[in-house]
Structure 1
């Protein structure tokens, strides 16, 4: 009973202090509904833009028809690109296609990347996708630059090439279009205005971040847990997880952020859980000795990021999620919102 009474007393004190701040703001004629500005950072393909798209679905009205049309074109183009990557992977790995598929593959590689697939192209893609060598390449996709979601679209090709195809929210969430420039999403939740700022994760885009650092309520840094055995698109000699850790170090050590708390979102946990069964994280972290144990690997990688933040004045909040999974990300967002509000001077 004593602990419960003590807890209630602390909660009442916090609420009283908050009310006093609000009253003071009212007396001074200020708007106490402070905008919560969240800067979403991370390397390319970490899933940060997926994170923002889910916020648009949860807190706004989703996507308008103009946006859906843009994603429709991208999704259809990606079908061509993904299959070309898979075919080239077959040749790179020295695998063999069936005789009939070999002819189809050679003709397919001559198709322009910007071609919008029709029914005939869809049939070709479906036949190639059924080839055992193509499936093997997809299973080894971490050795190439093949997206984890390629199979989702290839399995749904008949629906995607339909004349009246309209991308679903799930189609859009899975669609990878590299972020260029700066994108903002504004919404209101729990009686507060929020702004999520998403900036390009590729190296060439990072110089654009600096002027977005003013008045940030909290940084959300997204890490793709599944990328510990993959290399960058821009430089295939650099491990993606290592690059993410280096980038996080540069952000955490930036003097502008000495008092800005950080939410670490460890994303793609579902893919990580499957991958860890076969691939030891030692491929990225030489001092790791936990083998292919999910919990040990998760704990070790988390520690590598958290220990980068050297000052104890800075709070770091780790979260684990699947940004492409609506239920998982909804729970993550709810907790993030509470965390931001509890740690903001409002």
Structure 2
């Protein structure tokens, strides 16, 4: 009799334990269903971090004071770096700076430290004078022949404002400011009773080995491509075309066993720069086999199909879109996260509609 009572007690105890475990598992499942993890991948300077910044501005109330100060310092250091790069590129390109500015340019390269965010009145005037020089402008137009960030003109045109003592970066400054992502950056926010986690992993070659650590629990994979870089070379290896590198990394990543069943979004970013550049530089610089005309419509379609052709799994949901991640004009009018989300696939589609309105 005692043994039976003992068995019943053990059975009840085990049943209670099982019920508790089951409840915990149900809660975990509920939490997982309420959480959407979006992994942003792409090669360096593709625009992934700009998308994260947009989310920070729209859904996290912008940037705290210490981050604004950091961006201010980076932007001030960068405009000195841009001018130095332009001066040095003149020698590389066989261009001779005008006689009236040659001494100024030589002195700027020799004495101005890029690492310091401090800008004296003399340095400010030197930057403005050199940026107006016609030969410096010619070097800028040939920037595909050396390494110069896309946003250099945006900031150099605003030198006066950036050098003011009370200068505080505006959202567009932050969106255009490039700081290479090192490691993993993550932003979380809650909208429509869901937790959204957007994870940005550095795209430089040295950072890609960290990608695999973020592959678990991914709801949507977004691969970002800088469409305007078809005639540029890698920072890390100037023998390699940036677009060819992006295609290679894309093929390897999206066909990885972790992602074969995941919804895939391809953002052909910087389409505004692509549209401008394709008028001067034919796409055959990267794709000599291309036989179509040089119109934006034909070349952008060809570029999109190049990426789509590299995905092996048939029947997979793949959504390609052309975007411009720094343009917020239409973005602020769309309240995408207030939509009741019926499925991850549906949200992926809506996200792209949302991002596509950047352009």
Verify: 1:299 aligned to 2:301, yes or no: yes
| Alpha carbons of structure 1 residues 88 and 78: separation in structure 2 relative to 1, 3 Å | same
* Structure 1 residue 202, shift from structure 2 partner: 0.3
Q: Aligned equivalents of 2:335 and 2:322: distance in 1? A: 11
Q: Aligned equivalents of 1:270 and 1:331: distance in 2? A: 20
Q: Aligned equivalents of 1:331 and 1:310: distance in 2? A: 37
Partner in structure 1 of residue 18 of structure 2: none
| Alpha carbons of structure 1 residues 28 and 92: separation in structure 2 relative to 1, 3 Å | closer
Larger Rg: 2
Instruction: For residue 109 of structure 1, give the secondary structure of its aligned residue in structure 2.
Output: helix
Q: Aligned equivalents of 1:47 and 1:343: distance in 2? A: 21
| Alpha carbons of structure 1 residues 341 and 192: separation in structure 2 relative to 1, 3 Å | farther
* Structure 1 residue 255, shift from structure 2 partner: 0.9
Partner in structure 1 of residue 159 of structure 2: 157
Instruction: For residue 197 of structure 1, give the secondary structure of its aligned residue in structure 2.
Output: strand
- List gaps (5 residues or longer) in structure 1: 1-24
Partner in structure 2 of residue 127 of structure 1: 129
Q: Aligned equivalents of 1:333 and 1:82: distance in 2? A: 37
Q: Map Cα deviations across residues 159-187 of structure 1 (whole Å, 9 max, x no partner).
A: 11111111111111100110000010001
Please point out which of 316, 319, 322 is paired with 1:320: 322
Q: Aligned equivalents of 1:309 and 1:191: distance in 2? A: 33
| Alpha carbons of structure 1 residues 164 and 343: separation in structure 2 relative to 1, 3 Å | closer
Q: CA RMSD of the aligned region, Å?
A: 2.2
- List gaps (5 residues or longer) in structure 2: 1-22, 349-359
Q: Aligned equivalents of 2:263 and 2:42: distance in 1? A: 16
Partner in structure 2 of residue 91 of structure 1: 91
Partner in structure 2 of residue 21 of structure 1: none
* Structure 1 residue 105, shift from structure 2 partner: 0.4
Q: How does 1:1-346 map to 2 (within 5 A)?
A: 28=26, 31=30, 33-110=33-110, 111-115=112-116, 116-327=118-329, 334=336, 340=344, 342=346
TM-score, scaled to structure 2: 0.84
Q: Aligned equivalents of 1:31 and 1:261: distance in 2? A: 21
Instruction: For residue 326 of structure 1, give the secondary structure of its aligned residue in structure 2.
Output: coil
* Structure 1 residue 331, shift from structure 2 partner: 7.8
* Structure 1 residue 97, shift from structure 2 partner: 1.6
TM-score, scaled to structure 1: 0.87
